Amino acid sequence: MLETDAISMSRRRFLKKSGWLAAGVTVVTALSYPLIRSAIPALPTRNDPLPEDGFAWVQALSDGHIRFFCPRMEMGQGSPLGLCQIVAEELNLSQSEIECVLPDTNQVPHFKMTVGSEGIAKYFEPVSFGAAQLREKLRSIAAKKAGLPREKVEDSLGGFLLPLGRQIGYGALVPSEPLVLFADDYPSSRKALPRYALLRRDKYQAIGQSWKHHELEAIVTGQTVYARDVSLPDMMFGQVLQPPTFGSLIKSVDVRAAEALAGVLEVVINKEKNFIGIVADSPLVLPEAIGAINVHWEISEELNQDQLDASLDVDEFRARDEFEHILASDGDIGAGKLRSQNAVAARYDTSFAAHAAIEPRSGLAWVRKNKVEIWCGSQDPFFVQQRVAKAIDRRVDDVIVHSHRMGGGFGGRIVCQASEEAAILSAATGRPVRVQWDRETEFQNNYFQPSFSHHINAGVTDEGTISHWQHDFVSSPILTGLVPPAIGWVLDKVMADEGTARGSLPQYQMTNRQVRYSDIRTPIPIGAWRGLGSAPNTFAIESMMDELASKSGIDPLKFRLQNLPSTSERLAAVLHRVAEISGWGRHSPKNTGYGIACSVYKNVTAVAIVAKVHIDHDASELQVNKIWCVQDSGLVINPDQVKNQIMGNIVWGCSMALKERITFEAGAVEQRNFHTYEILRHGESPEIIITLINPTNAQSTAVGEAAFAPVAPAIANAVFAATGKRVRRLPMNFDNVFSNSGS
């Protein structure tokens, strides 16, 4: 307890001196439209970090440890570990000298939601800056203490080296309270501060090492505390009755039977908020109590999949020649068509999808008079803080969110609805209340990846260049998918959703190109899912590239390479390398095929994939046997972690290609558990071979979602190589590939 107080006191001093208190409580949003901003209840935390933000994240402790308040949440992507290595590089630490903490919301100023594969790319700089400055502050203290000029105080592991070989550890320089950085510690110029994480690229001691995750041993022994595992001594158990369809409203409710059950403490009803929840003294009572509630719903949404497909149908939009956003319009499509020797027009479709993290979300809330505490796992704890404050009508500052490692994120945990439910139930009863979603609730009540429909019309000249490229697509807004519909409607008038469009501009040289899209809101809740639009858009582009190559009789690798601009050396390099490691161009046995695809995630991370598929006609199976991947994501902080992320992306790519599909019927999700929403299983998972290009002089770029996008088209292209059949709709399986409707 004492320690916590000490931290928050330093923090108050830190904030006061630095004047960031004000900055910390203001949510800086990308939306500068004043009217809209005031109407939006709460928004995800979106401001990118500034270099000096790093000051708040590092502290030196008197026991010699460096405490690192990690500004990235952990969901298995491992960026907190990479950031620890950056701290270690600056402060000359070994791994055991760093105490990595996922901070509570009252321990550090706001930081951005953990999304977009930015953990290292955007946080390298502020973390390195803060850690380097802490080192120099410690050096000054050491110099003063020893009565020496600073230059005489040399670096050493975990501290400094003084003349005559005397070692002094950091701990000896910190009296009792943690040593923190203040705004007046800011160096005269940022350039003047030596940055080991940037400078000593040829003699890194921590960066580039495959450190094992600090939680690894806890995970394999079952000791890690996920949000679902937290409990408090007098904790009660809550569950909320979920609406049967999107947007259905409570018409009338009778809870007498539920109230009469032994163990039920209270039934909380708020018709205005469409909320009915149970608080009980045992979790075992909850299912029966929920079942005993007699409620009449007013069903407003009976939407089904056909209607959805119709409203997101690219052909309809093309027939009306009506697209909201033009992403590119270069050259002259008509003139290009005249030069085309081999033209292809094709439609590609991808499905609605769910995150399906194995840990369904959970929240524990304890609402007291002056303090509200929440324990949860979220990609945006500060958004949870705001939403909880809103839900129980309290000041944002009264709410503290304690963050836990998440059992998978994938974009699906920007909000933690279970925490809001727990807070409402705790506010009503004054007891700590735990709400755990089950699998069905998780499938029905979160947001989804929207389906995409694409139409591409393109051609190749007789020199093998791309004569024209006309790409239209329709999907739903993703980045602003969570705003209330009334605001969304206004928003859509003034902005195009960049998340939906991610990855839709091809990397290839095209003089004549047009790319248009519409982002259409439907009643289906939509939000971030791994890579946003990048995987669906790359599926369309890289499938079409394969179709163009085959129609022109050019090898698909060669066709890609000859159409890359000279500025795309890094993409060309990963393509060459993947061809090498996979033995591209070899003869393949019957019913076996190799496919290639590539992309540059967020225009920074170059990835090339080769997939090998085999068609087993006896078993009626389409098997992905092996995937090769080469990735260039700049300087690699931890090769082992990066490879683990790539493997995850490859498994996701196979899963998207072969398995995943959410459909809606009568206003509700049809898939409620893993027998109907199938994700890739172990037995279907391919052998994976990964090579990293590690240019140590290039900045670290996005990893967490990068290798995902080209996987599905590589598989589809491999199926074509094996069978001559084009897969243009995902997910694919043996039956739909070999039925006529498969293409």
Give the footprint of ligand FES on this chain (CB under 6 A): 76, 358, 408
Per-residue x/- marks for another protein, 67-106, CB under 8 A? Answer: --------xxxx----------------------------
Nearer to another protein, 511 or 685 (CB): 685
Of the CA atoms within 13 Å of residue 243, those in its CB half-sphere come to 23
In angstroms, what CA-CA distances link 19 with 183, 297, 310, 426?
8, 50, 53, 34
Nearer to another protein, 135 or 659 (CB): 659
Q: How far is the CB of 217 from another protein (least distance, A)?
A: 6
619 binding another protein? (CB under 8 A): no
Q: What is the DSSP letter of 122?
A: T
Max Cα-Cα span within the chain? 84
**Burial per residue of 526-565, b for 16 or more beta-carbon CB atoms within 10 angstroms, e otherwise:** bbbbbbbbbbbbbbbbbbbbbbbbbebebebbebbbbbbe
The gap from C-alpha 665 to its chain's centroid, in whole angstroms, comes to: 28
Footprint on residues 406-445 left by another protein (CB under 8 A):
406-410, 436, 438-439
626 binding another protein? (CB under 8 A): no
Nearer to ligand FES, 318 or 439 (CB): 439
Nearer to ligand FES, 228 or 513 (CB): 228
Nearer to ligand FES, 220 or 262 (CB): 220
| Residue of 41, 47, 88 lying closest to 67 (CA atoms) | 88
Q: How far is the CB of 408 from ligand FES (least distance, A)?
A: 5
661 binds, among another protein, ligand FES, none (CB under 5 to 8 A by kind): none
Q: Which two tokens stand for residue 242?
A: 């979920």
494 binding another protein? (CB under 8 A): no
Q: Which amino acid is at 618?
A: D
Q: Give the residue closest to ligand FES by C-beta.
A: 358
CA–CA separation, 396 and 84 (whole Å): 30
CA–CA separation, 337 and 460 (whole Å): 9
Q: Which amino acid is at 85?
A: Q
Any residues with CB less than 8 A from the CB of 585 and at least 6 apart, and which? 555, 557, 579
Footprint on residues 218-247 left by another protein (CB under 8 A):
219-226, 228-229, 231
The gap from C-alpha 618 to its chain's centroid, in whole angstroms, comes to: 39
- For the chain, the 3-state helix, strand and coil shares in percent, each to the nearest 5, are 35, 20, 40
**Which among 490-498, 574-582, 677-685, 695-703 is the span making contact with another protein, rule CB under 8 A?**
677-685
Q: How far is the CB of 724 from another protein (least distance, A)?
A: 29
640 binds, among ligand FES, another protein, none (CB under 5 to 8 A by kind): another protein
338 binds, among ligand FES, another protein, none (CB under 5 to 8 A by kind): none
Q: How far is the CB of 683 from another protein (least distance, A)?
A: 4
Q: How far is the CB of 522 from another protein (least distance, A)?
A: 26
| Residue of 407, 701, 398 lying closest to 570 (CA atoms) | 701
In angstroms, what CA-CA distances link 737 with 539, 548, 550, 617, 621?
16, 20, 18, 12, 10
625 binding another protein? (CB under 8 A): no
CA–CA separation, 649 and 710 (whole Å): 10
Q: How far is the CB of 641 from ligand FES (least distance, A)?
A: 13
Q: Which amino acid is at 68?
A: F
730 binding another protein? (CB under 8 A): no
Nearer to another protein, 489 or 674 (CB): 674
Residue 95: phi, psi to the nearest 5? -60, -35
In angstroms, what CA-CA distances link 456 with 504, 516, 726?
11, 10, 15
Q: How far is the CB of 239 from ligand FES (least distance, A)?
A: 17
Q: How far is the CB of 654 from ligand FES (least distance, A)?
A: 15
231 binds, among ligand FES, another protein, none (CB under 5 to 8 A by kind): another protein
264 binds, among another protein, ligand FES, none (CB under 5 to 8 A by kind): none
Q: What phi-psi label fits residue 598: left (phi over 0), alpha (psi between -120 and 50 degrees) or beta? A: beta
Q: Which two tokens stand for residue 373?
A: 């505490």
3 binding another protein? (CB under 8 A): no
Evaluated on CA atoms 447, 453, 459, 464, the torsion sign reads positive
294 binding another protein? (CB under 8 A): no
Nearer to ligand FES, 408 or 639 (CB): 408
**Which among 23-31, 61-69, 212-220, 270-278 is the span making contact with another protein, rule CB under 8 A?**
212-220
Footprint on residues 330-359 left by another protein (CB under 8 A):
355-359
Footprint on residues 633-662 left by another protein (CB under 8 A):
640-641, 644-645, 647-652, 655
Contact 482, 527 (CB under 8 A): yes
223 binds, among another protein, ligand FES, none (CB under 5 to 8 A by kind): another protein
208 binds, among ligand FES, another protein, none (CB under 5 to 8 A by kind): none
673 binds, among ligand FES, another protein, none (CB under 5 to 8 A by kind): another protein
Q: What is the DSSP letter of 415?
A: S
Tell me the site size for another protein, rule CB under 8 A: 61
Q: How far is the CB of 51 from ligand FES (least distance, A)?
A: 33
| Residue of 197, 224, 205 lying closest to 213 (CA atoms) | 224
CA–CA separation, 575 and 631 (whole Å): 9
**Which among 92-100, 458-466, 681-689, 729-737 is the span making contact with another protein, rule CB under 8 A?**
681-689
222 binds, among another protein, ligand FES, none (CB under 5 to 8 A by kind): another protein
The gap from C-alpha 192 to its chain's centroid, in whole angstroms, comes to: 35
Q: What phi-psi label fits residue 726: left (phi over 0), alpha (psi between -120 and 50 degrees) or beta? A: beta
Q: How far is the CB of 681 from another protein (least distance, A)?
A: 5
Nearer to ligand FES, 469 or 677 (CB): 677
Q: What phi-psi label fits residue 585: left (phi over 0), alpha (psi between -120 and 50 degrees) or beta? A: left
Contact 146, 72 (CB under 8 A): no
Per-residue x/- marks for another protein, 250-289, CB under 8 A? Answer: --------------------------------xxx-----
Q: How far is the CB of 295 from another protein (least distance, A)?
A: 23
Residues that bind another protein (CB under 8 A): 75-78, 210, 212-213, 215-217, 219-226, 228-229, 231, 282-284, 355-360, 405-410, 436, 438-439, 640-641, 644-645, 647-652, 655, 673-675, 679-683, 685, 687-688
